[in-house]
């Protein structure tokens, strides 16, 4: 059974439009609380459940909560687990513009919820809200040292026998939730840090800054003659990096640097998980290294599920979600950056050198707006365009069409060894999708 509201990363939408309204969010919180606390042994002992609420910097977050200030999504995952709470809730739309917002849930062990739990929460949305007896009512309080706890947690993921002294970094926080925590992490480990994207005003989150808009980071790295640039997204769970020359490195390349280093050190346990969007060159690189590789559906929660099924520790997406299960229970941009820096400091290599032997296949990704819930995969014109592309690319390329889990769009991805052909077929298929959507 499909989910009506939950996508690949919680529930998102335009603020003020269903479902991102105070009334819906209240019902969502009520249903989620009942589901997430239902089997907890603490309740059987007469204790009230505890829920941690965090948010990013977009202005609509104030409408949806009043309990806690901005902290990155990974911080909520960590603190929920560290404080032995029953659930964590993040008010954020991640990399989306400020007009959007959303809700993400974490279980008591700091992991995102499986599909079945989300379906159970949705099933309870129409149940009447019943006020608990006065003896069972709870209260909201601020965790004043939340940011400090998270900073120390991030630093603890970096080896104690290494530091970042002599390294000049530019860190871009996207005017998002990590604006006050990212710089201290790298600075306290010894780096000279110039931070940008750290002036949130409620409306500028992800606007020209961060992992989805790295041009300002590339410019700042060159201007400050920095060794590296680090870009997070609005809620701090994505990472892209820039080298001293201003070259951009995506999630596949950064995951490769981590995996290669761990393999060389004998510290790579099992294989590496990617997604349907992971570059074909990454899969071939893992094969050359003798490392098992498997693809999950798009979404870091599905990467996590695959890692747990396989008993592996390392996985990620080319969008910049990287999961290191020996360091955290979820994707974390700051911790992922520290794992890359660990590989570089231990090997003595630059980022360019560490990633040099992974030559990505040309890949084109186009987004076509469609009505939510519309399936165009069976449309004759779309099918014909996909078939023609697959025949032309042969075994040296692939085509992937998938609906976005966070926006009303269809992602059209074409990959192959011929860049011009990849661009041509991506545009051809996207045009057919657009025609079908307008019909």
In 135-241, alpha helices (H): 146-156, 182-188, 215-223
Buried b or exposed e, range 396-431, using 16+ CB within 10 angstroms: ebbbbbbbbbbbebbbbbbbbeeeebbbebbebbbb
CA 208 to each of CA 50, 71, 152, 345: distance values in angstroms, whole numbers, following the listed order: 37, 21, 29, 30
| Residue showing tokens 């042994």 | 41
Catalytic residue among 60, 94, 107, 404: 94
| Residue showing tokens 């995996």 | 259
CB atoms within 10 A of CB 300: 25
| Residue showing tokens 């657009």 | 434
Q: Which long-range contacts (CB under 8 A, 24 or more apart) does 109-116 make?
A: 109/81, 109/329, 110/77, 110/78, 110/80, 110/81, 110/328, 110/329, 110/330, 111/77, 111/304, 111/329, 111/330, 112/9, 112/300, 112/301, 112/304, 112/330, 113/301, 114/301, 114/305, 115/3, 115/6
For residue 319, the SS3 value is coil
94 is annotated as an active-site residue: yes
Show Cβ contacts of residue 379 under 8 Å, excluding neighbours closer than 6 positions: 432, 433, 436
| Residue showing tokens 């603020």 | 15
Rounded to whole angstroms, how far apart are CA atoms 388 and 375?
Answer: 20
Q: Give Cα 18 distance to the centre of its chain.
A: 24
Buried b or exposed e, range 44-72, using 16+ CB within 10 angstroms: eeeeebbbbbbbbbbbbbeebbebbbbbb
Q: State the pairing for strand pair 397-403/409-416.
A: antiparallel
Active-site residues: which are they? 94
């Amino acid at each position: 059974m499909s989910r009506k509201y939950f996508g690949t990363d919680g529930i998102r939408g335009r603020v003020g439009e269903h479902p991102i309204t105070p009334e819906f969010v209240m019902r969502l919180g009520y249903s989620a609380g009942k589901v997430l606390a239902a089997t907890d042994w603490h309740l059987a002992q007469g204790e009230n459940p505890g829920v941690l609420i965090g948010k990013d910097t977009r202005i609509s977050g104030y409408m949806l909560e009043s309990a806690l200030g901005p902290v990155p999504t990974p911080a909520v995952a960590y603190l929920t687990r560290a404080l032995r709470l029953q659930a964590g809730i993040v008010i954020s739309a991640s990399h989306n513009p400020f007009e959007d917002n959303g809700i993400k849930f974490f279980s008591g062990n700091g992991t995102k919820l499986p599909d079945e739990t989300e379906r159970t929460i949705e099933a309870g949305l129409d149940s009447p809200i019943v006020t608990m007896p006065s003896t069972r009512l709870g209260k909201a309080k601020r965790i004043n040292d939340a940011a400090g706890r998270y900073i120390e947690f991030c630093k603890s993921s970096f080896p104690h026998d290494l530091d970042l002294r002599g390294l000049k970094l530019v860190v871009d926080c996207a005017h998002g939730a990590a604006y006050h925590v990212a710089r201290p992490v790298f600075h306290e480990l010894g780096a000279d840090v110039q931070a940008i994207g750290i002036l949130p005003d409620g409306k500028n989150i992800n606007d020209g800054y961060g992992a989805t808009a790295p041009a300002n980071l590339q410019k700042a790295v060159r201007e400050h003659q920095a060794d590296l640039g680090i870009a997070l997204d609005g809620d701090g769970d994505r990472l892209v990096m820039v080298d001293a020359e201003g070259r951009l490195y995506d999630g596949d390349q950064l995951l490769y640097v981590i995996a290669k280093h761990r393999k060389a050190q004998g510290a790579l346990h099992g294989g590496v998980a990617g997604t349907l969007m992971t570059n074909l060159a990454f899969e071939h690189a893992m094969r050359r290294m003798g490392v098992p590789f498997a693809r999950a559906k798009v979404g870091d929660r599905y990467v996590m599920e695959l890692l747990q099924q396989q008993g592996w520790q390392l996985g990620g997406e080319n969008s910049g979600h990287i999961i290191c299960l020996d360091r955290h229970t979820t994707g974390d941009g700051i911790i992922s950056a520290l794992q890359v820096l660990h590989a570089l400091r231990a090997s003595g290599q630059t980022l360019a050198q560490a990633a040099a032997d992974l030559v990505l296949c040309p890949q084109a990704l186009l987004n076509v707006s469609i009505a939510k819930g519309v399936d165009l995969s069976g449309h004759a014109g779309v099918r014909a365009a996909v078939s023609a592309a697959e025949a032309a690319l042969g075994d040296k390329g692939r085509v992937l069409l998938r609906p976005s889990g966070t926006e009303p769009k269809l992602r059209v991805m074409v990959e192959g060894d011929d860049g011009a052909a990849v661009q041509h077929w991506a545009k051809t298929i996207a045009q057919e999708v657009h025609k079908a959507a307008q019909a």
